[in-house]
Structure 1
């Protein structure tokens, strides 16, 4: 482990990422169930905790593998062990959501066991890198120590008798410390030999996998709806909208030339990578919103406004974060982007307004023609926002990106 030769993603890394499809799907399912049951606040809290745990462990593995992933037997075994941790963590998610719904902490012993298994192999790998790469020994050792201390903290949050408020405060402090630690380590001891081009590819692929979860959620939700009630206008609209949203978000994300920019300016990687933590959660939540839409239509227990918000909010967050990623990478403020940004969000705002005007409280009944027309309209409007995002970036935004990058390249 003397520093990885820059290159593309390995089959082992792709195999590792597959476990995250499971984790994202379980978290999205639990969020959808919580929203359907009216436990929105508790569900969002448990979901945020779940997404942080999963994505932060993934990010740490990616950081190490980009620097020292030599794909030998020890590295492979350590990676598979981490995959086991992801699966165990996923088993703890239903308990986390249930406890949170009853006023408890989102943390539980099963989650922590899974999380520790996801992290401890990295301690061994960082120590190995410290031994075999003297040039970056202090950085690697600092990572190993920081991860070890963090795991002790996570274990302590599961001690019996701790008040829920104190536990949640401790979890927030631990998460904040974990986010700050890598920045401090690499500023103080020097950068680990990670490859910014590889980092960009890895983050892009996990975004792609998460978008695949949106497609899977669409198929699953519509499949259940069709099986129980047969094909209907609502089922067709949900299926078509799910695919349009997934394709639009994929298109918009890859319009930002992350690999090119990060390879040229590696220091921009830290803020860019941190912005992906909410992005992964928001993309997976789009799948949850589609499940909520199907459940609301099938069981007629949710109002049109609740269905609209469940889908519109995560889509809006993803769109905002795509613009944020652009700004973090390009480091340029372009006033002409503001009309594009506003124009992208207008269909979403219109969908929410329509849903609020139709009836914000009464459960939706598709036998009512007005309700059916309103449902089709609001879901189509949310999908339209993704289309506006893509067309706007293709016609306007991308040329601005090229101009901004050229300005940065000037001496």
Structure 2
């Protein structure tokens, strides 16, 4: 490598003490739209199959996004070739996001939606690998890791293209296989070659994507009643939904985020990449997916309590809508518990306890008014978070 090129790469490297750049925030706006597309598609179809397929799309989006979180931790995203690569990746991901409603069921006319998704995914991931390869010049360990990482990406993309040639259940199972191959290939490929240059930046970047997901849940509350006249049930339900989202924010940013960043900062350098991969790349997937499901449940709950012509206040939330509300909350709470366990080595009982208290409403909620179910899960979540915060405050004094 020439001395000039080496100096240029060093100048573009991410400083140890750094924060997320504006370009990264701009980049994440595409994922705001993509998550909105997932929620809207699941809400329009509202079936068990739609729920499963929606989660598969979230997993595909997440694996796309997290690769660029690692890349932007190696070099500044707003400088040099990385800047142009980020803009190119944004364009590709925006096309993929536009195609989400047709990811499994192609609409008449135009291009094949499943093929467009597969091609966009391959292009997005290939750009990521190419940028990583160019920017890792001189780092034999990282380049070796990229070579171990590439076969899983290629195999996953091939399975997505195969899925595009099928339909129905076969297409869904091929999506499952594609994601399993891609995720498993990363895990079994090890982490010794990956680099975490700035622990603070890495933790902050993932915290911001959690904020984006929580923002989607708030958007879903508004969308659920946007065309309905304002009423006291809507006021009550929207306040409860905001309180529930606030409770999850409190649990993550009040306790989990700080513990994760501290662990990532203090972990020995040779173990840091493995911790980052497990706690952030893997365990943040169910954490974010749970919020996406919760957003769908909140959207339908607001529709139930606000649309007096279609539902009465005594109508329960049923089926997929109830499963999304309760299941999404339970998934998120267990994911937070797993994240804390992986980063601190301790299993805090608060989140699992809250999840176990909320879970029975997957059945109880079918007999209770929708507003009562929403109130119950909100009170449980906020109360447990408040008690845990108080306990931690008392033990640190």
TM-score for the superposition, normalised by structure 2: 0.82
Deviations 1:221-247 (A, max 9, x none): 23222xxxx222321122101210111
Does structure 2 conserve the Cα–Cα contact (< 8 Å) formed by 1:157 and 1:171?
yes
Q: How well do the aligned residues superpose, as a CA RMSD in angstroms?
A: 2.9
Q: Once superposed, which parts of structure 1, at least 4 consecutive aligned residues long, lie more than 4 Å away?
A: 97-100, 163-166, 349-354, 397-400
Alignment of 1:385 with 2:384, yes or no, is no
Q: Which moved more, 1:53-62 or 1:215-224?
A: 215-224
Does structure 2 conserve the Cα–Cα contact (< 8 Å) formed by 1:26 and 1:93?
yes
Selected match of 2:99 from 89, 92, 101: 92
Count of residues in correspondence between the two structures: 367
Quickly say closer, same or farther: Cα 1:77–1:376, change in 2 above 3 A: same
Q: What is the match of residue 125 of structure 1?
A: 131
Q: What is the match of residue 20 of structure 2?
A: 9
SS in 1 for 2:283: helix
Selected match of 1:376 from 353, 371, 377: 371
Q: What is the match of residue 290 of structure 1?
A: 298
SS in 1 for 2:227: helix
Q: Give the Å deviation of 1:87.
A: 1.4
Quickly say closer, same or farther: Cα 1:195–1:95, change in 2 above 3 A: same
Matches within 5 A, 1:100-111: 108-111=114-117
Selected match of 1:55 from 49, 59, 62: 62
Segments of 5+ residues of structure 2 without an aligned counterpart are 1-8
Alignment of 1:204 with 2:207, yes or no, is yes
Quickly say closer, same or farther: Cα 1:353–1:135, change in 2 above 3 A: closer
Segments of 5+ residues of structure 1 without an aligned counterpart are 101-105, 359-373, 404-411
Deviations 1:138-176 (A, max 9, x none): 224444565445434433432x3x465544443323212
Does structure 2 conserve the Cα–Cα contact (< 8 Å) formed by 1:85 and 1:113?
no
Q: What is the match of residue 316 of structure 1?
A: 330
Q: What is the match of residue 258 of structure 1?
A: 260
Alignment of 1:304 with 2:316, yes or no, is yes
Q: What is the match of residue 31 of structure 2?
A: 20
Does structure 1 conserve the Cα–Cα contact (< 8 Å) formed by 2:30 and 2:93?
yes
Q: Give the Å deviation of 1:272.
A: 1.1
SS in 1 for 2:366: helix
Q: Give the Å deviation of 1:59.
A: 0.6
Measure the CA separation in 1 of the matches of 2:203 and 2:211.
12
Q: Give the Å deviation of 1:319.
A: 1.7
Does structure 2 conserve the Cα–Cα contact (< 8 Å) formed by 1:23 and 1:90?
yes
Q: What is the match of residue 330 of structure 1?
A: 344
Quickly say closer, same or farther: Cα 1:389–1:42, change in 2 above 3 A: same
Does structure 2 conserve the Cα–Cα contact (< 8 Å) formed by 1:350 and 1:381?
no
Q: What is the match of residue 4 of structure 2?
A: none
Q: Give the Å deviation of 1:251.
A: 0.7
Does structure 2 conserve the Cα–Cα contact (< 8 Å) formed by 1:127 and 1:140?
yes
SS in 1 for 2:210: helix
Measure the CA separation in 2 of the matches of 1:43 and 1:70.
35
Q: What is the match of residue 71 of structure 1?
A: 78
Alignment of 1:155 with 2:165, yes or no, is no
Deviations 1:23-51 (A, max 9, x none): 0011011112222xxxx211112101110
Quickly say closer, same or farther: Cα 1:344–1:182, change in 2 above 3 A: closer
Q: Give the Å deviation of 1:344.
A: 5.8
Deviations 1:39-89 (A, max 9, x none): x21111210111011111001111122123453242111111111122111
Quickly say closer, same or farther: Cα 1:223–1:165, change in 2 above 3 A: closer
Quickly say closer, same or farther: Cα 1:350–1:128, change in 2 above 3 A: closer
Q: Give the Å deviation of 1:350.
A: 6.3
Quickly say closer, same or farther: Cα 1:171–1:357, change in 2 above 3 A: closer
Selected match of 1:115 from 109, 114, 121: 121
Quickly say closer, same or farther: Cα 1:184–1:152, change in 2 above 3 A: same
Measure the CA separation in 2 of the matches of 1:206 and 1:223.
25
